[in-house]
Structure 1
Amino acid sequence: MSAEPELPAKRDMVASLEKGLQVIAAFDQERSRLTIAEVAERTGLTRAAARRYLITLTHLGYMRHDNKLFALTPMVLRLGQSYLHSARLPRIAQPLLYRLAYSLGEAASVGVLDHDQLVCVAAASAGQLVSVTLQPGTRVPAYCTANGRILLAHLPPEQVQQFLERAQPEQITEYTLINKQRLALEIAHARTQGYALVDQELELGLRTIAVPLKNFRGEVVAAMNISVHAGRMPREQMVERCLPALIKIQVELNALL
């Protein structure tokens, strides 16, 4: 993974843009509608400032309100679509993902790290409904996904240690690893073997195996996985059936990135 970028000088930052984006990010799956006071609490803004940002975003079409509750509108999707349509990685990966998915009759996806979360940027399915998380734009915890774990495995050791120190793993399923020592061992093992296999830690019935994707400088920039339903493929067959196909597409993508 590339080194952390240097922080810009404060004079070069547009504070109003930063705070406006914080207001948008305050809304999530658990709290899709918020009051002015709740937005202020989540962003650290004063209530007066939160009100101004919400009114501005409503005027621009990114927000709507019903009485005292504000919610995002579909217009916010334009921000994500701008990335998906302009970024090189999704455009290059998508055709090869289709080929990978249909060669195995399963689902495939490419994801990148965003802080401690994995964001799906491209996905393909061979008609198999595996998981709703395998869609561009979805965000899931990195520690309990194959794509996330292989990306964590290729961070510099000090960044892996920092991640483990701040991580608060939750018992999402009965199989989710929440012991940090075991998680550290799994991350190290993924780096050594070159792939990560996660069995039903994010969703019951969901098994995934992932490999890293590197650019022309040899930097890990993303991860690619195959996801299967546990009822269709036993864990012991994942490496035998899926890994060779993953590696074949991995080599092609690495040459293009």
Structure 2
Amino acid sequence: MVLDNKTSADTLSDTTSVEGEAKAKRSRVSGIDRALQVIDYLYETGAPAGAYAIAKAVKAPLSTVYVIIDDLVDKNMLARNADGTLWLGARLYHYGLAYARSLDFMSVATHEMHDLCREAGETVQVCGRDAEHMLVLAMADGPSHFQVASRVGTRVPLNWTASGRLLVGHMAEAERIDLFKRGARISPTGRATIDPAELARAAKVAFDERLSIQAGESDYSVACIASPIVDNRGDCVATISIVLPEQKAFADKAGYADRVKESAARIEKVMGWRNH
């Protein structure tokens, strides 16, 4: 096939552009890798070090390491001591604290989840929020043959679930309304409310009462009884809920409600978020 001059030029231009983008991407990855090498070196040695020692250890040009170090210091990822040596910065410490809190919380919540599952004899879930969706973080299956459609990793619109409303109950009213405007969807059963103002009001009431009950809104004949897990700032960071057949839920609604609220309170106490 014969190409005219314009086609050849366009093809060459496209090829050059793609190669340039690929090269830029490789460069960015290399920069990230170098930054991680610097941080890893300090972490593994457990002591501050100078730029020359770091460059020698990670086998990188000294000029490159200087640029990376300056950038990391500017972003508080590294701290420069009075003698010029470098050490891990405050930002990494804060990241570590956040990660540790997350691990501690899930450990405590999962332990309580299994206790509640044994006590109630029903499926129990721990759920969190992912933007306009509720996300199942952990789950303990009950001993019965009752099957729950949502599993760990399942994401559903907040307005479909009891947990979904609780997860935004601590927010300001305008935030709640805006969030439901963006994310409310018609549920498979058609029974879930989609009106943002109504959902915002219901979320606040449920949060204040530390209890939310949903039946048949996302799945036919399935009920969910949930309670918020609230941190020391007053934010609902997750929920713990009992998922069971609708008929059973209303046969002993008060009993299930008390159990799930007590479980949420125990998690808060263990985490140091509740003093009473």
- Kindly indicate whether the alpha-carbon contact (under 8 Å) linking 1:113 and 1:151 is maintained by their aligned counterparts in 2: yes
3-state SS in 2 of match to 1:152: coil
Within the candidate set 128, 134, 137, 1:112 is matched to 128
Within the candidate set 206, 210, 235, 2:250 is matched to 235
Give 2:268's aligned residue: 254
Within the candidate set 107, 131, 140, 1:124 is matched to 140
- Specify which structure has the bigger relative contact order, considering alpha-carbon pairs within 8 angstroms and separated by 6 or more residues: 1
Larger deviation: 161-170 or 148-157? Answer: 161-170
Question: In the alignment, does 2:261 pair up with 1:226?
Answer: no
Q: Distance in 1 between matches of 2:213 and 2:198?
A: 14
Q: Distance in 1 between matches of 2:179 and 2:119?
A: 35
Q: Give the TM-score taking structure 2 as reference length.
A: 0.57
Structure possessing the higher radius of gyration over alpha carbons: 2
Where in structure 2 are the equivalents of 1:39-188 lying within 5 Å?
A: 87-128=103-144, 129-133=146-150, 135-188=151-204
Aligned amino acid, residue 115 of structure 2: R
Structure with a larger share of its residues in helix: 2
3-state SS in 2 of match to 1:87: helix
- Kindly indicate whether the alpha-carbon contact (under 8 Å) linking 1:211 and 1:224 is maintained by their aligned counterparts in 2: yes
Within the candidate set 256, 259, 262, 1:245 is matched to 259
Q: Tell me, which stretches of 5 or more residues in structure 2 are unaligned?
A: 1-17, 27-98, 272-276
Change (3 A) 1:236 1:159: farther
Q: How far 1:204 sits from its partner (Å)? A: 0.7
Q: Distance in 2 between matches of 1:195 and 1:125?
A: 21
- Kindly indicate whether the alpha-carbon contact (under 8 Å) linking 2:211 and 2:228 is maintained by their aligned counterparts in 1: yes
Q: Distance in 1 between matches of 2:127 and 2:270?
A: 17
Q: Tell me, which stretches of 5 or more residues in structure 1 are unaligned?
A: 1-47, 57-82
CA RMSD of superposed structures (Å): 2.9
Residue identity over aligned pairs, in percent, reads 21
Change (3 A) 1:109 1:170: same
Instruction: Tell me the alpha carbon deviations over residues 149-180 of structure 1, each in whole angstroms, 9 at most, x when there is no partner.
Output: 11121222231021133234214204222333
Q: Give the TM-score taking structure 1 as reference length.
A: 0.61
Within the candidate set 189, 197, 214, 2:213 is matched to 197
- Kindly indicate whether the alpha-carbon contact (under 8 Å) linking 1:130 and 1:227 is maintained by their aligned counterparts in 2: no
- Kindly indicate whether the alpha-carbon contact (under 8 Å) linking 1:175 and 1:199 is maintained by their aligned counterparts in 2: no
Instruction: Tell me the alpha carbon deviations over residues 6-27 of structure 1, each in whole angstroms, 9 at most, x when there is no partner.
Output: xxxxxxxxxxxxxxxxxxxxxx
Give 1:30's aligned residue: none
Q: How far 1:236 sits from its partner (Å)? A: 6.0
Change (3 A) 1:168 1:248: closer
